[in-house]
Structure 1
Amino acid sequence: MAQQEVRHTEHTVVATASADVLYDIIADVTVWPAVFGPTLHAERVESDGAQERIRLWALANGEVKTWLSRRTLDAGARRVAFRQEVSQPPVASMGGEWIMKPATGGDTLVVMTHDYTPVDDDPGHADWIARAVDRNSRAELAALKAAVERGPGLDRLMMAFEDSVEIAAPPVEVYDFIRDCGAWPERLPHVARLELREEPGGVQHLAMDTKAPDGSVHTTESIRLCFPSSHIVYKQTTLPKVLLAHTGRWSFTPSPTGTVATSQHTVVIDPDAVTAVLGADATVADARAAVRGTLGTNSTATLRLAQQFTEAPGEAGE
């Protein structure tokens, strides 16, 4: 059998930030969905600080793909090497590195490399991978640069919060209520419209109009990943104007009385949109409070309706 050709790529960006700040974002894969547009969901499977295995779900040429990778983290050299252990076609193998190098004036040069082989060494597969790698690498490097250069800083713009409700029903029934989002316009007063497209593997594409307490309607689009009876994660791909990113998780934990259903949100505020959306005197703190109130209210309302639906005699399990 002929040896497959290994393709190599390199993408770079110069960011006005220290190599340490940039390295910290690359090293913490759990923040990637809130920073990088293509990344839908990330899980750290195992880690000892220097070696780790991660699973990623991301958009590649508009398709949802997932893979398992092993990473080597070198904080001293500010390098992160990665190698896919389980790839998804048309990728046969892929690896590479993130490298942070000091540049002039206190800036940092970020280098992102890839090496890959396509399934069956097919030219069509190679072209698909080349386009995906180029598009995603450019998007990720631009997002990384924006995240570290945007005032007042990622730590002030990003926030995470959650709300929980105890439900006297099995986790599978509560999960089914949240998963069956196509019925939400009839079940949830704050959902005015919802269009749903589903793919194999528990992937859902949603377009939804949500009514705010002030009567305004906000249109969002999301991709959800469903893990039966356990949890559902999602990322908004079309956002309200005040947000740069919004990811979330619905989780369903067995309890002595049934289920603890929890809605978790991670958001990044857009500082340039705060005054346009909330008024001339509004601050990032005001935006954080407004987003927390709106999302928390809607999530809790959804969980309360899930509680009513699954606890009602004769309705549970429908």
Structure 2
Amino acid sequence: MSASALREVEHEITIEAPATTVYGLIESVTNWPHVFPPTIHVEQLESTGRQERIRIWATARGEVKTWTSRRELDPEALRITFRQEVSAPPVAAMGGAWVIEPLTADSCRVRLLHDYRALDDSPQGLAWIDEAVDRNSRSELAALRDSARRASHAGELFLTFDDTVHIDGSAEDVYDFLNAADRWRERLPHVSRVELRETEPGLQILTMDTLTKDGSQHSTESVRVCFPRTRIVYKQTRVPALMTVHTGRWSLVEEPGGVAVTSRHTVVLNPDTIRQVLGETADVADARTFVRNALGTNSLATLGHAKEYAESKS
């Protein structure tokens, strides 16, 4: 590849939050799905001191991509560099850095640097990457600003909970039920519409209308990353008004005589819509209770039907 094909770009934003707070949000890569809209799921593959190796699943221009990167953390300099080991087409190579520059005790400038090449130095591929990097960088920096601003009261807006059911059946049958979401409309009473598109094995885009116990209907879209027989992780890319983020995970752990299946939900509430959705007297505590009940009820219903399905196969 020619040196002239290398593209270098920079995006920046000023954030009214301490530089160390912002650095912490960028450093905690496994929390990125709750901070950055394009990020679906992240796994830390290796970590030794200030070096780490990660795998990321994220959206880019409406497509789901996955790649492996190495990161070098420098908390003293407030800088994190990254370099993709295995890129997703049309990217041939990509790297860059997050640079946080303190302005005052309670504000900082964040610079996001990228350098990249397209496969075969393709002009069309380079144009695709240009747009994807620009769109994602702007989205990520805006989301980072919003997350940093919410950091002082993030605890009350952040909600995570588990529901677990023991099933006297095989992990394979339970996984098949959860994986085949295209059949949920016929199998799950609370699902009124479903569309499933599998872009490649184990990578799904799920669009669904669900009913809550109060009779209201919610339309959602999720990207799901499937790990056969063990877990399915997902992130909603279109969420109900009461949330800004919703991620989830179905985990299967084999036990003597069966399998324990856990549904985990993690939600970031939207404080600006609570009264609009729940009424003028509603507050964050009401929203937490409503979301816990609505999501938990549907998850337990799904697990109940998965239990019937798997146990009938035994």
Q: Does 1:163 align with 2:166?
A: no
Q: d(CA) in 2 for partners of 1:103 and 1:28? A: 22
Q: d(CA) in 2 for partners of 1:287 and 1:2? A: 55
Q: d(CA) in 2 for partners of 1:152 and 1:220? A: 29
Match of 2:211 in 1: 211
1:277-288 alignment to 2 at 5 Å?
277-288=277-288
Match of 1:72 in 2: 72
Q: Where in structure 1 are there 5+ consecutive unaligned residues? A: none
Q: d(CA) in 1 for partners of 2:310 and 2:139? A: 42
Deviation at 1:106, TM superposition (A): 3.0
Aligned-partner residue type, residue 190 of structure 1:
H
Secondary structure of the residue that 2:127 maps to in structure 1?
helix
Match of 2:309 in 1: 309
Query: Which stretches of structure 1, 4 residues or longer, exceed 3 Å deviation after superposition?
Result: 1-4
- Residues 105 and 76 from structure 1, CA distance in 2 versus in 1: closer, same or farther, beyond 3 angstroms? closer
Aligned-partner residue type, residue 295 of structure 2:
L
**Structure 1 stretch 92-101 or stretch 218-227: which is displaced more?**
218-227
- Residues 49 and 162 from structure 1, CA distance in 2 versus in 1: closer, same or farther, beyond 3 angstroms? farther
- Residues 220 and 299 from structure 1, CA distance in 2 versus in 1: closer, same or farther, beyond 3 angstroms? same
**Structure 1 stretch 144-153 or stretch 67-76: which is displaced more?**
144-153
**Structure 1 stretch 221-230 or stretch 261-270: which is displaced more?**
221-230
**Structure 1 stretch 157-166 or stretch 134-143: which is displaced more?**
157-166
- Residues 3 and 112 from structure 1, CA distance in 2 versus in 1: closer, same or farther, beyond 3 angstroms? closer
1:176-187 alignment to 2 at 5 Å?
176-187=176-187
Deviation at 1:151, TM superposition (A): 7.6
Secondary structure of the residue that 1:300 maps to in structure 2?
helix
Q: Where in structure 2 are there 5+ consecutive unaligned residues? A: none
1:37-186 alignment to 2 at 5 Å?
37-104=37-104, 106-150=106-150, 153-186=153-186
- Paired residues of 1:194 and 1:208 also in contact (CA < 8 A): yes
Deviation at 1:121, TM superposition (A): 1.0
- Paired residues of 1:147 and 1:153 also in contact (CA < 8 A): no
Aligned residue pairs: how many?
A: 314
Deviation at 1:178, TM superposition (A): 0.4
1:279-298 alignment to 2 at 5 Å?
279-298=279-298
Deviation at 1:152, TM superposition (A): 6.0
**TM-score between both structures, scaled by the size of structure 2:** 0.96
Q: d(CA) in 2 for partners of 1:79 and 1:98? A: 6
Q: d(CA) in 2 for partners of 1:106 and 1:189? A: 50
Q: d(CA) in 2 for partners of 1:21 and 1:155? A: 14
Q: d(CA) in 2 for partners of 1:173 and 1:58? A: 28
- Paired residues of 1:148 and 1:154 also in contact (CA < 8 A): no
Aligned-partner residue type, residue 263 of structure 1:
S
Q: d(CA) in 1 for partners of 2:110 and 2:156? A: 23
Q: Deviations over 1:104-148 (max 9, x none)?
A: 573110110001111111111111111110000000000111112
Deviation at 1:172, TM superposition (A): 1.1
Q: Deviations over 1:183-206 (max 9, x none)?
A: 111111111111222211322212
Q: Deviations over 1:272-300 (max 9, x none)?
A: 01111111121112111211111111111
Aligned-partner residue type, residue 227 of structure 1:
F
- Paired residues of 2:18 and 2:105 also in contact (CA < 8 A): no
CA RMSD of superposed structures (Å): 1.5
- Paired residues of 1:4 and 1:117 also in contact (CA < 8 A): no
**Structure 1 stretch 82-91 or stretch 154-163: which is displaced more?**
154-163
Q: d(CA) in 2 for partners of 1:90 and 1:70? A: 19
Q: Deviations over 1:59-118 (max 9, x none)?
A: 111111000001011111111111111111111111111111112573110110001111
1:229-244 alignment to 2 at 5 Å?
229-244=229-244
